Chain A
Amino acid sequence: MSTTPSTTHLHSLRYKAGAVIRFANTTKCWQDGTLALDSVNLELASGECCIVIGPSGAGKTTLLRSINGLVTLTSGSVLFNGERVTRRSLRRIRSRIGMVHQQFNLVGRLPVMDNVMTGMLSKTGTLRSLLKLFPRADVQRACRLLAQVGLEESQLYRRAMYLSGGQQQRVAIARAFISRPDLVLADEPVASLDPTTSEDILHLVRSVSRQTGATVLCSLHQVELARQFADRIIGMRAGRLVFDGPPESLTDPVMREIYGTTAKNVAAAREHGRDNRTARVDEASVRPSHVAELT
Chain B
Amino acid sequence: MMNARLKHNGSRPPEEWGIRRPFHWGHALVICLLMAALAYSADRTDIGEGVAMSTDAALTGLANLVGFEREPSAVGRGISSFAQRSWPIVVSRERRVDDLGRNFDPDADMPWWSHIETRPHPVTGEPIEYLVQPVGYLTYVVGLMVTTIEIAIWGTLLALFLAIPLTYCSASNYTPHPLLYVLGRSLCSLSRAVPELISALIFVVLFGVGPFAGVLALGFHTAGFLGKFFADDIENADRGPQEALHCSGANPVKVLRFAVLPQIMPQVFAYVQYILERNVRTATVLGIVGAGGIGLELIGQWNMYKYGHAATILLVIFVTVVILEHITQRLRRRII
Binding site for B on A (CB under 8 A): 68, 70, 91-99, 101, 103, 105-110, 114, 118-119, 121-122, 126, 129-130, 172, 175-176, 179
Contact = CB atoms under 8 A, between A and B. Distances in A.
B247 A94 contact: yes
B266 to A, nearest CB: 8
B121 interface: no
* Chain B interface residue number, banded: 20 to 34
A143 B208 CA distance: 59
Given A97-B248, A130-B253, 10 more contacts: A70-B247, A91-B249, A91-B251, A94-B248, A98-B248, A101-B243, A108-B262, A114-B258, A129-B254, A175-B248
Interface in B234-260: 238, 240-241, 243-251, 253-254, 257-259
B263 interface: yes
A118 B251 contact: no
A183 to B, nearest CB: 12
27 contacts: A68-B247, A70-B247, A91-B249, A91-B251, A94-B249, A95-B248, A96-B249, A99-B247, A99-B248, A101-B240, A103-B240, A105-B240, A107-B241, A107-B258, A107-B259, A107-B263, A108-B238, A108-B241, A110-B258, A114-B258, A118-B248, A118-B259, A122-B249, A130-B254, A175-B244, A176-B248, A179-B248
A94 B241 contact: no
B253 A126 contact: yes
A106 B250 CA distance: 15
A109 B262 contact: yes
A109 B257 contact: no
A93 B262 CA distance: 27
A224 to B, nearest CB: 28
Contacts of B262: 107-110
B250 A118 contact: yes
Interface in B19-71: none
Interface of B: 238, 240-241, 243-251, 253-254, 257-259, 262-263, 265
B259 A97 contact: no
Given A107-B262, A109-B262, A130-B257, A122 B250 contact: yes
A94 B75 CA distance: 73
Most-contacted residue by chain A among B246, B263, B265 (CB, 10 A): B246
B258 A118 contact: yes
A126 B258 contact: no
A70 B247 CA distance: 8
B244 A121 contact: no
Contacts of B253: 126, 130
Contact of A94 (B246, B254, B265): B246
Given A101-B240, A105-B240, A107-B241, A92 B249 contact: yes
A120 to B, nearest CB: 8
A122 B244 CA distance: 12
